Structures are given as structure tokens and as C-alpha cells.
Structure 1
Amino acid sequence: MAAIKRRSSILILLGICFIILLSSGGFFTIYLTHTIGPDAEMINQLGIIRGSIQRFVKFELGGHPDNALIDEIDLKINALNSKKMKIHDRHQEIQCYIGDLKQSCLLLKEAAYEYRKDPSLHNRDLLLEKSEVAWQEANSMVLMSQTLSEKKVGRYRISFIFLGVNLSLGFLMIFLIKRYVKDTLEYLVNYDGLTKLYNRRFFNESLHGEILRAERYERGLSVIMFDIDHFKRVNDTYGHDAGDSVLKELSQLIQKNIRKTDILARLGGEEFAVIVPETWAEGALLLAEKLRDAVARYSFKHAGKITISLGITELAEGDTADVIYKRADMALYEAKSKGRNRSEVKYKKQSMEI
């Protein structure tokens, strides 16, 4: 039961980690996807500005000035300037370049006006110089924006890392959940809910398996069956809660006084049984007396002193699990009928009284 509780706690922690990682990966991917759109729009607008600068200078030198084109460039730069806090993760260098580009376009416009007044060679060279500076500013921003966007796209690898971790964690959780459900079902099927001992179903299966093992290796096998003397009196005097407490205390006391290889089970009510592998009736009788003495000496929390009666038998040739069980039960009945608080051995053809 403790292992099941620990596994339950682990599943809860893994579930919390899974939710956190899944949420983090999802928000990160949404963030990247959300910011790549504005980045692409900025690169497109900068490309238009760069091309417009070339067309503007071409028209000016060709004697066909286009004020609408330079106004369009101003509008696009102002639009970028208003959005610069929302793009490229507030990259300071990008913000500086937008200001520089705006200033270069302003100087280009002034040079164009001067050229219109006086289309001299000096003003022509000045117009070309200013246009080259503005074009270089726009081109640098395009390249820088592309670089930053490529880095963002590269961050998608982190999303795949999140995905890989989430998938691994998910598979681990599925495995642990299956184990948890399996162990929980096995516990519910094989254990007694009150005493946490094995139940009658598990006892029957274990007895059948131990018989096969004892016959294969020609080893001894014994069964001790016992119950609490006058248990009804305990319930009637102290109440059923006190009776349940006695059953729990008795289970713990017996468990401490048997071997790890012995199998202790609650068969129902106040009746218990112990499968004692690799032990003949004589050895099982010694163990039964040890258990009887331990119970007699123990003071139970709600009932004080109680006693138990025990019936012992051993595996004989041709025995089945049902036969052994019935013979142990007969030995227990004899112990009860002969005064209680005693152990009685029942062989296949004879019995021995203690």
C-alpha cells in the first residue's frame, strides 16, 4: 500500500511537470509564431522603402520629380517607427536604425529640393550621395531584420525540444499510470482492506503454488489456521470499532513473529491462516505455540488480554489445497472444542494434542 501511495505522489508530481512543460512549450511556440508575422511585414516594408529610394532618385535625375513617392517613403518610415516597440523583441539597434533612416530620408528630400532649384553637377552628386546613404541604411535594416528573424525561426528547435521532453514524459506517465492501475487492482484483489494482510483469494492461490513447489522439491509444507477466542464478546463489550482495532493489532503482532517467507492471510472475520513453506508439522507447531504465547502476553489497546486457538496440519501425499485447508480447519475446531487458547495438530491419519 505504501508503494502505491508513493507511486501516486510521483504521478501527481510528473503530471504537474508535464502541464508546466506543455504550457511553457505551447506559449513559447505561440510567441514565436506571433512575432514572426510582424517581422516579415517589417522586412517587406523596408524592401519597399529601399526600392522607393532608388525610384525617387531615378525620377529626380530624369527630370520627373515625384513628391508622392517621397511622401510615401515618409509614411512608411513613420509607420515603422510607431511599431518599432512591438517588433524584434524591442531590439535597440533596430530602433536606432529606424531613426537614422528617417534622418537620411529627410536629408535626401532636402538634397532633391536643392537639385530641383539648381540641377548643377554639385547638387546632382549631393543627391546621389544622400540617396546612397539612405539606400544603405534601408538595406542594412533589411539584412539585420532578416538575421533577427532567422534567429527566431532557429528558436523553433527549442519548441521541438519541449515537444520531445513532453512526449517522453507523457510516455513515462502512461507507463506509470498503467503500473499504478495494475498495482492498485492487484492490491484490491489480493489484500484485506482492514488489516492490510493478504485475503482468502491470495491465500488459496499461494497455497496451491506452494503445494506444487513442495512436491517438486520434496520439501515440507504446513498450514496454521487460527482465530480469536470469544471475539464476539469483544465486539459486544467494546464495540465493533474496538473489534476492528484488535484485528489490526493482532495482524501486526503475528506478522512480526513469523518469517518473511511465511504467508499470513485473513480468511474472514476473526479467522487467519499462515502458510509455512519448507516446514513440517513439528516445526509449524513450535511456531504456533510462539504465536499463541505472544498473543497471550500482549495487551490490546481496547480489549486488554485475548487468546487465540490454532490448528496445524502438514502436506501429505495426494493432498490438494482444499484438503489441507479442511484438515487445518478441523484441527482448529478441535483446539476450540478442547478449551481454546491451545494448538492442535491434525495429520492425515492421526492428531497430536499439545
Structure 2
Amino acid sequence: MTAIRKRSSILIMIVIFLLVLLGSGGFYTIYLTHTIKTDAEITNKLGIIRGSLQRLSKLELAGIQDDELIQDIDLRINEFKENKIKLYDKKNEIQYALGDLCGTWTPLKESIYTYRTEQSSQSKKVLLEESEEAWTKSNSMVMASQLVSRNKVDKYQTSFMFFGTNLILGVVLIFLIKRYVKDTLEHLVNYDGLTKVYNRRYFNEYLNHEMEKSERYNKNLSLIMFDIDHFKKVNDTYGHDVGDSVLKELSDLIQAHIRKCDILARIGGEEFAIIATETNVDNGLVFSEKLRKIVEEYDFKHIGKITISLGVTQFNHGDNSDLIYKRADTALYKAKNNGRNRSEIEIQLSYKTNS
């Protein structure tokens, strides 16, 4: 009897010990899940800063002055500097990278204002150099954020291995959590947190995949880029909450009127893109005009009517993602410059020099 009691006591202690391990591991897993989700959102916000810096320089060199974009970059950077966005960054890797970016952002703005008043070869050279430096620092900032998140994911996987040594309950628990986390991470990595459509990372992967298919099987493929006309006025007049609501409504509206084989993504701010498979540029233009009219006639919940401008291009043999993006972006800016609420196409064969 004494031996049985002793063995029971040992088993109870082991069970309690395992439950404590499972409990502590569970709490740690919950913490990681929460911070990984936040890290994914932060990486997306930092990626928007990086993309906006590149876009700003392109606009300035094209003679398009966009003070609203400068203010938007300032606002996004200041949100991180003033800790309005919480960082789970114990080693301050992201903060250090952000500090480096701030050190290059001010000179970049100065070079932009100098270039506006004196468009010489020297001022252009300085603008290009400062732009490249700022992009490099912003890219380092994004990479630092991704590294922080990746390290947490690695720790998360280690915690699964630890659970595997425990009771059957632990194994079952690990399996359920792993499935949940895997689905959650895949969703966070592939989808935009606000609009729930695909994000730019997934869009780029899918575009490259479809371009390879088009190249191999000689099939048509169109890229449509669009954004909301005068969206800054929406935020200024109604507030960012209403602006976010408009982005969600627009995403739902467009998603409901594209084919199942098409892919819609938010690629930054109020800018979206669509991959239209089996579609040449002429049909892509017809499709974009259909979407434009649908948006124009739609009554948005808080603000009523808005319009969008669209740029359309098609895949040409030998294209890479940069070339097709540039053409679609050029078409979009043609639509903007030609009065907005319209669609334009860009079918230049290539930006490459033929040998």
C-alpha cells in the first residue's frame, strides 16, 4: 500500500509537472502568436514606407510633386518614432534600423526641394543618391522586422518539439495549435490585414508564377493597377477610420466583380492591382472600364461617391515583374494626368535595349 501511494504520489507529481510545462508553454505560445501577428502588421507598415520612398523619388524625377506623399511618409515614420505603434523588439533591432532611416529621410527631403527649384544634373544626381540611400535603409528596416518575426517563429517551432515529449494530451494540443498557427501565419503573410484581399508579397509571387505560365504556354496575361482619386481628401474630411472603411468597401466591391481566376491585391496605401489571366490588353481595358463604372455608380456607406483611375498593360515575352509593373504604373499615372476617373493602357514592348 505504501509503495502504491508512493508511486501514485510520483505519478501525480509528474502529471502536475507536465501540466505546468504545458501551461507555461501554452502561455508562451499565446504570447508568440500575439506578437507574431503584430509583427506581420508592422512589417506590412514598414514595407509601405519603403515602397512610398521609392514611389516618391520616381514621381519627383518625372516632374510630379506629391507633397501629400511626403506628409504621409512623415506621419508613418513618426508613428514608429513616437511609439504609437508597439514593437515587440527586445534587442531594438527595428528601432536602430528606423533611426538609420530617419538619418537619411531628412537629406532626401532636402534634395527633393532642391531639385524642385534647381533641376540641374548635380541636383538630380544628389536626389538619386539620397533616394538610393533612403531605400537601402528602409529595406534594412523591413529586413530587421522580418528577422525579428522569423526568430519568434523559430522559437515557436521549438516549443512544438518540446510539447512532443509530453503526454498524449500535449501531443494533441500541439497538433491543434500547430494547425491553427500555420493557417493563421499563412493568412497573415498572404493577406492584407485591413481589406482581407491579398497583399503585395503574395501578389508578386502569383504574378511571377502566371508570367512563367504565359511565357511557357504563350497565353495572354494582363495587369491592372488602380487607386482612389483624391483619397487624401477622404481621410482629411472624414478621418482615417472612414478612409479605412472605404478601402474595405472598395475591396469587397471589386472582389465581387472579378472572375474567380483573377487575383486582387492591395499593394500599398489606396493602390490596388489585379492579375487578369487569359486576357490581352484590349480586353483588360474593357474589364477595367467595367470596374471603373461599377465604382463610379456605387454609393459608399459614409461618403457617397468616389472614383478610381486605372492603368492596364499586358505581359510581353521576355518581361519580368519590374517591367510589367512599370508599364502598369505608367498607365495609371497617365490616367491621373489625363483627368482621373478613367482607364489608360501602356503597351510598350519592353524597357530593355534590344541587342
Q: Which secondary structure does the structure 2 equivalent of 1:187 belong to?
A: helix
Aligned partners of 2:331, 2:292: CA distance in 1, in Å?
15
- Secondary structure of residue in 1 paired with 2:275: strand
**Is the Cα contact below 8 Å between 1:264 and 1:274 reproduced in 2?**
yes
Does 2:227 match 1:222? no
2:211 maps to 1:202:
no
Report the alpha carbon displacement of residue 343 of structure 1 after superposing the two structures with TM. Answer: 0.5
Q: CA deviation at 1:173?
A: 3.4
C-alpha deviation, 1:174, in angstroms: 2.4
- Give the whole-Å Cα distance in 1 for the aligned partners of 2:252 and 2:309: 17
Shift of 1:169: 5.8
| 1:306 aligned partner | 306
Contact 1:292 1:307 in 2 (8 A): yes
Match of 1:240 in 2: 240
String of CA shifts for 1:104-150, please: whole Å, max 9, x gaps: xxxxxxxxxxxxxxxxxxxxxxxxxxxxxxxxxxxxxxxxxxxxxxx
Matches within 5 A, 1:1-354: 170-349=170-349
Please give the per-residue CA displacement for 1:278-302, whole angstroms capped at 9, x wherever unaligned.
Answer: 1111121111011101100101111
Deviations 1:172-212 (A, max 9, x none): 43223222212211222221111011111111111111101
Q: Distance in 1 between matches of 2:321 and 2:175?
A: 36
Q: Deviations over 1:306-336 (max 9, x none)?
A: 0000000000011001110111000000001
Output the CA distance in 1 between the equivalents of 2:268 and 2:258.
20
Q: Distance in 2 between matches of 1:275 and 1:215?
A: 15
The letter for the 1-side match of 2:201 is R
- CA distance in 2: counterparts of 1:218 and 1:200, whole angstroms: 25
TM-score relative to the length of structure 2: 0.51
2:124 corresponds to which residue?
A: none
Structure 2: which 5+ runs fail to align? 1-6, 13-165, 351-355
Stretches (4+) displaced over 3 A: 166-173
SS at match of 2:344: strand
1:340 corresponds to which letter in structure 2? R
- Contact preservation (8 Å) 2:222, 2:313: yes
CA distance in 2, matches of 1:256, 1:236: 28
Structure 2 match to 1:19: none
**CA distance in structure 1 between the partners assigned to 2:337 and 2:239 by the alignment:** 26
Do the aligned residues in 1 keep the contact of 2:316 with 2:349 (CA within 8 Å)? no
Q: Aligned letter for 1:311?
A: G
TM-score by length of 1: 0.51
| Aligned partners of 1:316 and 1:348 also within 8 Å | no
Q: CA–CA distance in 2 between the matches of 1:171 and 1:284? A: 51
The answer to whether the 8 Å contact 1:194/1:248 transfers is yes
Deviation at 1:247, TM superposition (A): 0.3
Q: Helix, strand or coil: the match of 1:275? A: strand
Distance in 2 of aligned mates of 1:216 and 1:172: 45
Distance 1:168 1:209 in 2: 42
Q: Which has the larger radius of gyration?
A: 1
2:209 is aligned with what amino acid? G
Aligned residues: 190
Q: Cα deviation per residue 1:238-291 (whole Å; 9 max; x = unaligned)?
A: 111111110000000000000111110001111000011111111211110111
Inter-partner Cα distance in structure 2 for 1:168 and 1:216? 49
Partner of 2:130: none
SS of the aligned residue for 1:233 comes to helix
Contact 1:228–1:270 (8 Å) recurs in 2: yes
Cα displacement string for residues 147-169 of structure 1 (whole angstroms, at most 9, x for unaligned residues): xxxxxxxxxxxxxxxxxxx9666
Deviation at 1:349, TM superposition (A): 4.5
Gaps spanning 5+ residues in structure 1: where?
A: 1-28, 35-165
Q: Tell me the distance in 2 between the aligned counterparts of 1:249 and 1:178.
A: 33
Q: How many angstroms apart in 1 are the aligned matches of 2:186 and 2:224?
A: 25
Return the letter of the residue paired with 2:298: Y
Counterpart in 1 of 2:37? Answer: none
Identical aligned residues as a percent: 66
The worse-fitting range, judged by mean Cα deviation, of 332-341 and 280-289 is 280-289
